[in-house]
Structure 1
């Protein structure tokens, strides 16, 4: 691991295409919600989908002493017991790849918020087992549903 002294590193400026379409995550941006509203809607969505929030990691808090101007950035570690049991029963080493990560990042000073989910089709593919890939596909589909519910929770009829 690299150890740098001083507070000279900065987060590179993001543009809309920079964080899109990576093989390991599926990303969506939201412009109608604040960071706080997005975090709350993600947590509510996780609960509705039957996913457990295992841990929350504040990237900005962790890196603030070493980076200047880091935007708000949370990593939520999420899991579902049946999925975890299924993975462990098929390959005990799969525990290194879960819980899944969902990230919430401030992209443009609380006007654009980006939510990314882990693409388990890719991240779990190194197991090279058909039965794990079936679990991965199901997990990815559940996480994609989360992205669909985030803005809808703020719609008032």
Structure 2
């Protein structure tokens, strides 16, 4: 092992991302017609147009770059909405562990494809057995799907 390779994992871009499209806890779409920066801009615009709040961002590449030989861009957006959060907490105080919702934007396939995933709140929030939570989860999922539906379209009215 070379001295400068100590502590480095394999290149993230060489990992098999095919399984990421078949998870039960997120809904994923891939885009080949837009750049990473355009995807981020469009996702943020869609979040705002839908009345959601962007309450945080986490740059995975910046955080893990020193751990990988080659780390593609990967951003996690934390999204919430006051009425939804209020309903969740009123129904099940422990739901605060599961929100805000997450939307991820990442480069895959040697950075030629942009993959955007939304949290499938029907699945992630199903650990609460309260009926009210599951109704909120379904509505939240439907709203987040609208974020995905309009990523490639510019100047879209939602």
Q: What TM-score do the two structures reach when normalised by structure 2?
A: 0.89
Residue-by-residue CA offset, 1:97-117 (whole Å, 9 max, x unaligned): 000000000013442100000
Preserved contact between residue 74 and residue 105 of structure 2 (Cα < 8 Å) = yes
**1:28 corresponding residue in structure 2:** 29
- Note the residue ranges of structure 2 that are not aligned, 5 or more in a row: 1-5
**2:149 corresponding residue in structure 1:** 148
Preserved contact between residue 107 and residue 113 of structure 2 (Cα < 8 Å) = yes
Preserved contact between residue 72 and residue 111 of structure 2 (Cα < 8 Å) = no
Q: State how far apart, in whole Å, the 2-side matches of 1:134 and 1:8 are.
A: 41
Q: State how far apart, in whole Å, the 2-side matches of 1:116 and 1:74 are.
A: 11
Tell me, what secondary structure is at the counterpart of 1:150? Answer: coil
Q: Hey, which bits of structure 1, 4+ residues long, moved more than 6 A? A: none
Q: State how far apart, in whole Å, the 2-side matches of 1:55 and 1:37 are.
A: 19
For residues 13-52 of structure 1, what are the structure 2 equivalents within 5 Å? Answer: 13-15=15-17, 17-52=18-53
Preserved contact between residue 14 and residue 107 of structure 1 (Cα < 8 Å) = no
| Number of equivalent positions | 150
Q: State how far apart, in whole Å, the 2-side matches of 1:95 and 1:26 are.
A: 22
**CA-CA distance at 1:147 after TM superposition:** 0.4
Tell me, what secondary structure is at the counterpart of 1:28? Answer: strand
Q: State how far apart, in whole Å, the 1-side matches of 2:59 and 2:77 are.
A: 9
Tell me, what secondary structure is at the counterpart of 2:95? Answer: helix
Q: State how far apart, in whole Å, the 2-side matches of 1:8 and 1:14 are.
A: 14
- Note the residue ranges of structure 1 that are not aligned, 5 or more in a row: none
**2:90 corresponding residue in structure 1:** 89
Q: What TM-score do the two structures reach when normalised by structure 1?
A: 0.90
Which one is further off, 80-89 or 5-14? 5-14
